[in-house]
Structure 1
């Protein structure tokens, strides 16, 4: 039995004993269950599997420490009301906020952070990582780390702009349909039903094949496909608000439709719409990455995470994890946004812990 195995099991048992002595029964059950699982895995897979588990535990603990520290940092930095809200946020939400902040910094300051340009060829194809290239090179010899940084600006920026357009169009039409009713509601509803009945990815591939694969067409096509989903939610939320007494009172006062939407309905529908914006951003972000992977999204030489997975996918056959780096960047942002959205939904629902 190696020293690593002895230290690994010793730490697990020590943590189990400490949690039991301090009567933290939930933590004790989780830790001791993990000890038993690791014991069985060690018998089956040996030390290599235990090292993978140790790395996973280390990453999990590091993420928890970052989330706790970032929540404390925000609670000291923000004003009193916002700080009180941040202090009640779960660690998952604070971790999501930290990841989103890192992505925003990378996107805004990409030319400063990236050591090379996104299209600069500086080495041979699939060059290994060294002191010049932290993550190695891609299929053309471009610095993979620099392209990851620029990909944050391109992929996330385009997804954010597309979501904003889809959200503005869908929510505006949904609020108008609920407020006006009648033929406006019927026409908007039937158009939304028609668009929602068509498979989105196939429809996007068809439209981009006809219109061309430039950034403007990509943004407009994706926004067109996702605006009916936002319309449905906005229509449903506003439909429950327009029947309230204060809306009827505003109508009797002679208020115009635009006043009803902006001053009466929208403030009471903000919480679910904000949560929907976060969820819709995840779907748009994944759709753009999928289209880029298929070759109809963001076109080269512009750095994009979806196309980077496709271009370097041949390395998977040689047991190299280069294509997994942009894929991990996509997955991490999606998970982080969902963490924050879950927290916002919990706040808007008014539930207490």
Structure 2
């Protein structure tokens, strides 16, 4: 019961801070952006607040953490105390410090993976829609074949073959998710390439790269930005799931998924410490979805 009360109080405090953040943005931003901030729902403000907090923790992790990421500070599974606010893990490392460093590792790798997937998938999707013909058909059928394989199973297979280094993890997850980005960007671009201004640019002899970057991409940006947020959530959860299964971010690097696996035995004794990394994963996922929902609503042009 105390944990539920504490959780409820934290959520309520978060929404109060979100309202304060929205009011601050309205006062500080230029008139056009202030109008956007004024119409921001409280859930989106809460999402932005959480995202900013995670970014702050990730950047300043070495300053905020009481101990180094990999240092053994005591016996294994020590209870919560003044020296170790969240106790220690199975090797005697400080859980709070590893939770803080996990923000840098898990979120940073997920963001890099999502960015790579979007650069590759969106460029190929826009290019395929612009070129059409056999190029579009060949690429689309290849992507369909890859998407027919369940993403988690495909990722596990590739990681088993190529290893589990951070670079390999980023490349594998980016390759799997680029197929989803390709489908969306191609679908959006197909409705744009038939527009008169694209036809006019073609008649002017504009290059393919200029057509993609100057004519198609700006008009496809709204759904792509929203998809970036959603895709980040999927990548973030996929990396955490792979780490929980032992094929993601490898020890001794702190990672929220592996922290849940390594300390799951504590749940048997009523200790909620292993649930904190899972809660951190869930909170960021919900926060990003709040912001994405707001952006999708704005892009749709619908009124409340």
TM-score by length of 2: 0.97
Could you say what secondary structure the match of 2:156 adopts? helix
Provide the C-alpha distance between the structure 1 equivalents of 2:275 and 2:4, rounded to a whole number of angstroms: 19
Residue of structure 2 in register with 1:88 after alignment: 39
Summarize deviations over 1:4-47 as a string: whole Å, max 9, x none.
xxxxxxxxxxxxxxxxxxxxxxxxxxxxxxxxxxxxxxxxxxxx
Compute the RMSD of aligned alpha carbons: 1.3
| More contact order relative to length (CA 8 Å, sep ≥ 6) | 2
Residue of structure 2 in register with 1:270 after alignment: 221
Task: Decide which of 236, 252, 256 is 1:285's aligned counterpart.
Answer: 236
Could you say what secondary structure the match of 1:174 adopts? helix
Could you say what secondary structure the match of 1:241 adopts? coil
TM-score by length of 1: 0.84
Instruction: Point out where structure 1 has 5 or more consecutive residues left out of the alignment.
Output: 1-47
Q: What is the CA distance between 1:168 and its match in structure 2?
A: 0.5
Moved beyond 4 Å, runs of 4+: 51-57
Alpha-carbon distance change, 53 to 293 in structure 1, aligned in 2, over 3 angstroms:
closer
Summarize deviations over 1:282-337 as a string: whole Å, max 9, x none.
00000000000000000000000000000000011111101100000000000000
Could you say what secondary structure the match of 2:191 adopts? helix
Q: What is the CA distance between 1:76 and its match in structure 2?
A: 2.2
Summarize deviations over 1:57-92 as a string: whole Å, max 9, x none.
534432321211111122223222222211110000
Alpha-carbon distance change, 148 to 54 in structure 1, aligned in 2, over 3 angstroms:
closer
Q: What is the CA distance between 1:93 and its match in structure 2?
A: 0.2
Residue of structure 1 in register with 2:106 after alignment: 155
Q: What is the CA distance between 1:52 and its match in structure 2?
A: 7.2
Alpha-carbon distance change, 150 to 54 in structure 1, aligned in 2, over 3 angstroms:
closer
Provide the C-alpha distance between the structure 2 equivalents of 1:321 and 1:329, rounded to a whole number of angstroms: 13
Q: What is the CA distance between 1:55 and its match in structure 2?
A: 5.0
Residue of structure 2 in register with 1:102 after alignment: 53
Residue of structure 2 in register with 1:74 after alignment: 25
Task: Decide which of 338, 342, 351 is 2:289's aligned counterpart.
Answer: 338
Provide the C-alpha distance between the structure 2 equivalents of 1:312 and 1:57, rounded to a whole number of angstroms: 25
Taking the TM superposition and a 5 Å limit, the aligned residue runs for 1:15-30 are none
Residue of structure 1 in register with 2:187 after alignment: 236
Residue of structure 1 in register with 2:247 after alignment: 296
Instruction: Point out where structure 2 has 5 or more consecutive residues left out of the alignment.
Output: none
Task: Decide which of 132, 135, 145 is 1:194's aligned counterpart.
Answer: 145
Q: What is the CA distance between 1:143 and its match in structure 2?
A: 0.8
Residue of structure 2 in register with 1:130 after alignment: 81
Q: What is the CA distance between 1:277 and its match in structure 2?
A: 0.4
Taking the TM superposition and a 5 Å limit, the aligned residue runs for 1:17-56 are 55=6
Alpha-carbon distance change, 257 to 194 in structure 1, aligned in 2, over 3 angstroms:
same
Could you say what secondary structure the match of 1:352 adopts? coil
Summarize deviations over 1:163-214 as a string: whole Å, max 9, x none.
0010110000000000011121012101110110001111111111111111
Provide the C-alpha distance between the structure 2 equivalents of 1:197 and 1:325, rounded to a whole number of angstroms: 34
> How many pairs does the alignment contain?
304
Q: What is the CA distance between 1:252 and its match in structure 2?
A: 1.5
For the pair 1:117 / 2:117, whether they are aligned, the reply is no
Residue of structure 2 in register with 1:220 after alignment: 171
Provide the C-alpha distance between the structure 2 equivalents of 1:53 and 1:172, rounded to a whole number of angstroms: 46
Alpha-carbon distance change, 189 to 338 in structure 1, aligned in 2, over 3 angstroms:
same
Alpha-carbon distance change, 53 to 288 in structure 1, aligned in 2, over 3 angstroms:
closer
Provide the C-alpha distance between the structure 1 equivalents of 2:94 and 2:184, rounded to a whole number of angstroms: 43
Could you say what secondary structure the match of 2:251 adopts? coil
Residue of structure 2 in register with 1:316 after alignment: 267
Q: What is the CA distance between 1:279 and its match in structure 2?
A: 0.3
